């Protein structure tokens, strides 16, 4: 009879996607913004590289600012590579922040807030909060009689909690699209609140603490 052998398996619960763009050093264009077929880590995609180069040049010349660029194409055709080339064309040290749509939409944080955080991270800024402490992330616990939910907090929401002086036991409304937090005043005392209302329980910051439970 065949012997059954059991081997210990490694914990594979956390699988990370490894970004393989380290070979991209620039957009592979010459000084007249003409694309070379193989250059600076970029191979082919000459029209897209040229278009990206023209946009970067317009930004450098101060002709456009505060705009977004949409790169569309089949998976794996080099959209991220070109975006990285655009960043690297400015300087090899330019910060490049990647956001995966799926991760982004699964965040328990307002999309505006998540975007703001990514932008702040990309330009190395920590926004000051109302208390003057550095802008940080945190956690917010909401409780009802049936359930308890923990939300990730961004700087904007932390600021809103401070502004409204939200305290443990307060009923709050959160607009998940904009991140706006509003304190809902008790109408005739807490007993009249519907059972399903979520009540602010606690908020903690990962660093400089504004609120604690």
Where do contacts with ligand ATP occur on this chain (CB under 6 A)? 20-21, 24, 41-45, 73, 75-81
**Terminus-to-terminus CA distance in the chain, angstroms?**
61
Nearer to ligand ATP, 77 or 141 (CB): 77
Nearer to ligand ATP, 78 or 179 (CB): 78
Buried-exposed string 11-36: b where 16+ CB fall within 10 A, e elsewhere: eeeeeeeeeebeebbbbbbeeeeebe
User: At its nearest, how many Å lie between ligand ATP and the CB of residue 208?
Assistant: 36
Query: CB-wise, 82 or 174, nearer to ligand ATP?
Result: 82
Least Å from the CB of residue 51 to ligand ATP: 13
Which of 153, 165, 75 has the alpha carbon at shortest distance from 114? 153
Question: How far apart are CB 107 and ligand ATP at their closest, in Å?
Answer: 18
Residue with the CB atom nearest ligand ATP in the bound state: 78
**Closest Cα partner for 30 from 21, 40, 22?**
40
Residue 117 CB, shortest distance to ligand ATP, in Å, is 21
User: Which two three-digit tokens encode residue 99?
Assistant: 């956001």
């Amino acid at each position: 009879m065949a012997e059954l052998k059991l081997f210990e398996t490694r914990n594979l619960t956390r699988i990370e996607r490894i970004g393989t763009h380290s070979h991209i050093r620039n957009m592979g264009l010459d000084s007249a913004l003409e694309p070379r077929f193989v250059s600076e880590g970029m191979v082919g995609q000459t029209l897209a590289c040229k278009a990206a180069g023209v946009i970067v040049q317009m930004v450098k010349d101060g002709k456009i600012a505060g705009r977004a660029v949409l790169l569309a194409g089949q998976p794996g055709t080099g959209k991220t590579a070109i975006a990285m080339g655009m960043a690297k064309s400015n300087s090899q040290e330019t910060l490049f922040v990647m956001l995966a749509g799926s991760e982004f939409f699964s965040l328990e944080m307002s999309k505006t807030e998540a975007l703001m955080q990514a932008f702040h991270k990309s330009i190395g800024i920590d926004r000051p909060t109302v208390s003057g402490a550095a802008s940080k992330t945190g956690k917010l616990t909401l409780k009802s009689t049936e359930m308890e939910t923990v939300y990730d907090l961004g700087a904007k929401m932390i600021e809103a909690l401070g502004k409204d002086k939200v305290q443990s036991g307060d009923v709050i409304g959160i607009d998940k699209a904009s991140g706006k937090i509003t304190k809902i005043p008790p109408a005739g005392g807490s007993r009249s609140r519907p059972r399903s209302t979520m009540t602010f329980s606690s908020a903690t910051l990962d660093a400089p603490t504004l609120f604690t439970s």
